[in-house]
Structure formats: C-alpha cells, structure tokens
Structure 1
C-alpha cells in the first residue's frame, strides 16, 4: 500500500498519467488505484464514480487555461492590448496542448465530449473574462460595445478557429499566426469607438 497521504490532487495527477498510457476507452479506476498503490475503494472515497473522476480531470485540465487567462484579465493595461494578449494566450495554450502531447489531447477531447457541463462552465468562464476586458475598454473609452456580454460571445465565436479543438489540425499551418493576427486585428478595429 502507498505510504503517502492520498489526496484528490494526487489521484488526478495519476489519472492523467493513466489516461495518457491507456487512453480513455481502456483506462479504469482499478488502473488508477494500482498506479497509486491503493485499493480502488480508496479512489472512490474521493470520487464517487468513474464519471466524477473523469469530470474532475477535465475540470483540472481546463482550469489551467482559465487561471493563465484570469491573470491576463486582471492585469493592468490598455484593453485592446489585453484582449489581443488574452486571445493569443488562449490560442497558444490550445496549440501547446495539441502539439506537445497529442495522445493526452485526444484523450481530453473524448473526456470533453463526455463532460458537457464542465465544458459549458469553462466556456462561460472564458466568455466572462472577455466581457470584463470589453467592459474595461468601454469604461476607458477604448472600446464601443453597447452590450459587452453579447460582444464577448461574438469575439469568442469569431475566434473559434483558434481555440476550438475541432480546428486543431489547422493550428500548425504556416499561415495560422498570420490568420490569427488578421482576425484579431479586424475585431479590434470593429470594437473601436
């Protein structure tokens, strides 16, 4: 048996490793427990079902991106530059996840399909961050957005090609960066007062 204290965070770390190794179709709670050196009942004390464990892993994965973007959202600076940097950071985070660990990225795409509530919450957080940047820009006179929430949804939808996982095969194209800058430039010009 394991000698370290079993925590939810440790279970999630090991679950990521197990998912990377076996994939979402074959990975089981027993595999996670075995990797931890505990009984599967110990894992179930922290996560009542396999689905709850998989949702928690998905939430943790998406939360990393949310945290990095929240730091940009809360940072001082001109709203147009902040919005550009926020979108660029989101694009880079998604590209990084897809390119550096394609097996885990594919696994998370399966988990995301299973965890629509977690994904919906994630998208709500991201849209809210964009809304806050737009509101800041409106208050400083840098943006004209009569309905910042609707404008945030529009910005998020207009840039989907650079963050929606279904577009991942196009993210490494030679023109991806240039296309990103063109779309974001257009959006920023459209938001000017």
Structure 2
C-alpha cells in the first residue's frame, strides 16, 4: 500500500499499466488504479487530471521504451544502409512484440490512434526524425542519392507502414511477413541508393 504523500507519477503509471492489462482500455478506471495503489482516486487526479490524461501518459511511457533502442541506431556510426535496415527491422520487431506480448496495452495504443492523440503524433514525429538522421548520414557518405531529407524520411516511414502501423497488426503473425518486409526493404534501398 502506498501513502498519498509518498505517491509518485511512476507508481501511478505502473499501476495503470497493470489495470489496463487486467481490464482493458474500455473498462479500466482511475478508481481501479487508485485501489491498486491503496490511495484515494483524488490522489491519482493530482498527478493526472483525467482518465484520458492517465491513459496517454501510460501510452507515452510505453512507446518511449521503443524510442531508446531506435534512437541509438539512428545516431551510431556505421554505414547508413545497414543502420536503416536494422532500424526498420527493430521497429517491426518491437511493434510485433508489443501487439502479441502486451495485447491490452496495444489495445490502448489503438484507442489513442483512433482518437488522433498528440502522443501518437509525437511518437510518429520522433520515428521520422530518426529515419531522417540516418538518411542524412547516408547522403553525406554518398550511400544514398541526394534528396529532400525530411520528405524522404517520411516516405520511408509511410512505405513501411504495413510493418509498424497498428492497423495491420493482424497480418504480422503471417509466416511470410518477414519475407515481405525484406522484399519491401530491397525496393526502398533501390530508391535510396546513389547511382554509381
């Protein structure tokens, strides 16, 4: 049991994740989160003014876990071609893992996508910025042909949407999904590669 005075936002977010996993996004309430922590629901509201704000914070934290690994790939040294392929592969693997290993929180993410949440928009912006970093590096090393960096990064992100957009999650368990991903990667690489 947590006392109201010792309560932290991280404790609330962890409890909210547990509640969302147990009840799903439609049935989970702030009262359930407070009950899990052994505090009043007013204590939770001091940190998060509404159920929607709490749900967004949980999703933001959940998505941020994927950002770190991808961010390191985006900024590390090495050939841009290899980094971009690894970045896309890690993104696909992370989304697939979240969909299959954490279906209740994935359902919460899907709810936020449907609401056009600023959390999801920020997540997508972060991912596109990371692709842009790799594309810029590839242009500087002449691995990739010169192009508008941000437009190219967005095009790569959108072209690969089938492998990271939650709307396509049902197809990610298909045994041929990895093969289709690699075929798409070859097309993208062909479009990015500098002419000899």
Question: Is TM-score (shorter-chain normalized) higher than 0.5?
Answer: yes
Query: TM-score normalised by the shorter chain: which range applies?
Result: over 0.9
Deviation of 1:71 after TM superposition, in Å, equals 1.1
Q: Note the alpha carbon deviations across 1:101-154, whole angstroms, 9 max, x for none.
A: 223322331233235211111111100100110001001111113201100111
Cα distance in 1 for residues equivalent to 2:116 and 2:48: 15
Cα distance in 2 for residues equivalent to 1:112 and 1:11: 22
CA contact (8 A) 2:34 2:40 kept: yes
Q: Counterparts in 2 of 1:95-114, with a 5 A limit?
A: 95-114=96-115
Gaps of 5+ in 1: none
Q: Which moved more, 1:87-96 or 1:112-121?
A: 112-121
- TM value normalised by structure 2: 0.94
Deviation of 1:68 after TM superposition, in Å, equals 1.5
CA contact (8 A) 2:55 2:108 kept: no
Secondary structure of 2:6's counterpart equals coil
Does residue 184 (structure 1) correspond to residue 194 (structure 2)? The answer is no
Give the aligned partner of residue 19 of structure 2: 18
Misfit runs of 4+, over 4 Å: none
Cα distance in 2 for residues equivalent to 1:114 and 1:26: 17
- TM value normalised by structure 1: 0.95
Q: Which moved more, 1:156-165 or 1:111-120?
A: 111-120
Secondary structure of 1:27's counterpart equals coil
Cα distance in 1 for residues equivalent to 2:188 and 2:152: 10
Give the aligned partner of residue 2 of structure 2: 2
Gaps of 5+ in 2: none
Give the aligned partner of residue 146 of structure 1: 147
Deviation of 1:54 after TM superposition, in Å, equals 1.1
CA contact (8 A) 1:127 1:152 kept: yes
Cα distance in 2 for residues equivalent to 1:41 and 1:115: 28
Q: Which moved more, 1:109-118 or 1:38-47?
A: 109-118
Secondary structure of 1:62's counterpart equals helix
Two-structure CA RMSD over aligned residues (Å): 1.4
Cα distance in 1 for residues equivalent to 2:176 and 2:185: 14
Cα distance in 1 for residues equivalent to 2:115 and 2:7: 26
Q: Counterparts in 2 of 1:1-193, with a 5 A limit?
A: 2-3=2-3, 5-114=6-115, 116-193=117-194
Cα distance in 2 for residues equivalent to 1:104 and 1:126: 20
Cα distance in 1 for residues equivalent to 2:116 and 2:68: 20
